[in-house]
Amino acid sequence: AKEHGKSRFKVFNQRMHEEALRTLELETDLRKASDSRELFVYYQPIVDLENETIAGFEALLRWKHSRLGFIGPDEFIPLAEDTGLIFSIGRDVLANACADAIRWGQLIASRYGRDARAPHVSVNISGKQLMQPLLIGEVESILEESGLEPGRLKLEITENVLMEHITLAEGMLARLRRIGIGLSMDDFGTGYSSLSYLRQFPIDTIKIDKDFISAAITDKESEAIVSTVVTLGRSLGLDVIAEGVETPEHLALLRMHGCRYAQGYLFSKPVPPAEAEAMLLEGFAS
Ligand code: C2E
Ligand code: CA
Ligand code: CA
Ligand code: CA
């Protein structure tokens, strides 16, 4: 038994060692990644269910490591936060997203006329970024350089980040709001906020987390939560987006509860910018 325990410890120890090495390697490589164009943005459409058009796109960061292939943002964003790289990476994502949104506006105008509604772009902002007061000036200067109307940019901040730093977050959100951009509470329902915080934070959109959407099919309580959030959102004048819409059943349930916006694999997975443009030009019929 002693031998056994010892070897198990050795295996465990080796795995920890390997993980630490991978983290170290990824951190080093991440430093070089933005210069070597290994980091880029994909877009996933957010669909307006009322008229089956694309209301906007969410920018989702991708890292294609030269040797390891695609590495998910859930793995490398925390590393970017730990190393402080998130600030320069985040700025690049924002600049790219605003420049692409300008192109979408031009494409839409040339295809459907000047009065056609151009899609917005949603950009994820991590906790570190939100707590950095320089973010405000950066957003302002990126908007100015790109020429994008502030109303066409939305920042997505997870419920947990907001709840961990309520007072600071409230102040930052208020300042961002004054610029005229939109603010979404991301992953709603996964954190520990109460519905009353929806009124406290100056947000205009709630994104219902994908776990609720999939659970709502079989679980009455999850369905009740989805329904409640949709109703509450409407009475507070907030847009509600359902995330992780994967099947026609998910969509039917959301329509039944009057949810206006949806995002998920049923419509499209996140795609490269050129494909997002093609989707816009085709007009959207899913
Ligand atoms: P998120 O903001 O909640 O983004 C939604 C995630 O769900 C994305 O994963 C997206 O690809 C995935 N998804 C979309 N539709 C479906 C669906 O129908 N089913 C399922 N199962 N998943 C779906 P992704 O791209 O791997 O991003 C993971 C997280 O990484 C994001 O979660 C976001 O928190 C973070 N992230 C991504 N890009 C950025 C960024 O530029 N900056 C920051 N700070 N965080 C980012
Ligand atoms: Ca998001
Ligand atoms: Ca989310
Ligand atoms: Ca998430």
ipTM, two decimals: 0.98
Nearest CA to ligand 1 atom 43: 124
- How far apart are alpha carbons 57 and 41 in whole angstroms? 11
Q: What is the CA radius of gyration of the chain?
A: 21
Q: How would you classify the pairing of strands 120-124 and 182-188? A: unpaired
What confidence score (pLDDT) does residue 224 get? 93
222 CB near ligand 1 (under 6 Å): no
Pocket test of ligand 1: the residue of 60, 125, 205, 249 to mutate, having most ligand atoms within 8 Å of its CB, is 60
- Residue 189 tokens read as 């329902």
Atom of ligand 1 nearest to the CA of 263: 15
**Positive or negative: CA dihedral 272, 63, 263, 143:** negative
Q: Which ligand is nearest to the CA of 122?
A: 2
Residue 256 CB-half CA count within 13 A: 13
246 CB near ligand 1 (under 6 Å): yes
Q: Residue 138: which H helix or E strand, with range? A: helix 134-146
- How far apart are alpha carbons 11 and 21 in whole angstroms? 15
270 CB near ligand 1 (under 6 Å): yes
What confidence score (pLDDT) does residue 193 get? 67
**Mind giving me the DSSP string for 48-104?**
ETTTTEEEEEEEEEEEEETTTEEE-HHHHHHHHHHHTTHHHHHHHHHHHHHHHHHHH
Atom of ligand 1 nearest to the CA of 42: 25
- Residue 90 tokens read as 């985040």
Q: Residue 9: which H helix or E strand, with range? A: helix 2-33
Q: How far away, in angstroms, is 60 Cα from ligand 1 center?
A: 6
61 CB near ligand 1 (under 6 Å): yes
Q: How far away, in angstroms, is 244 Cα from ligand 1 center?
A: 10
124 CB near ligand 1 (under 6 Å): yes
42 CB near ligand 1 (under 6 Å): no
> Which residues sit opposite 124 in a β-bridge?
156
What confidence score (pLDDT) does residue 2 get? 52
What confidence score (pLDDT) does residue 286 get? 40
- How far apart are alpha carbons 130 and 240 in whole angstroms? 22
What confidence score (pLDDT) does residue 278 get? 96
Q: Which amino acid is at 86?
A: I
211 CB near ligand 1 (under 6 Å): no
Per-residue tens of pLDDT for the chain, all 286 residues: 555 666 766 777 888 888 889 999 999 999 999 788 899 999 999 999 999 999 999 999 999 999 999 999 999 999 999 999 999 999 999 999 999 999 999 999 998 888 888 999 999 999 999 999 999 999 999 999 999 999 999 999 998 888 888 889 999 999 999 999 999 999 998 877 667 788 889 999 999 999 999 999 999 999 999 999 999 999 999 999 999 999 999 999 999 999 999 999 999 999 999 999 999 998 754 4
Q: Which ligand is nearest to the CA of 156?
A: 2
What confidence score (pLDDT) does residue 3 get? 56
Whole-prediction pTM = 0.94
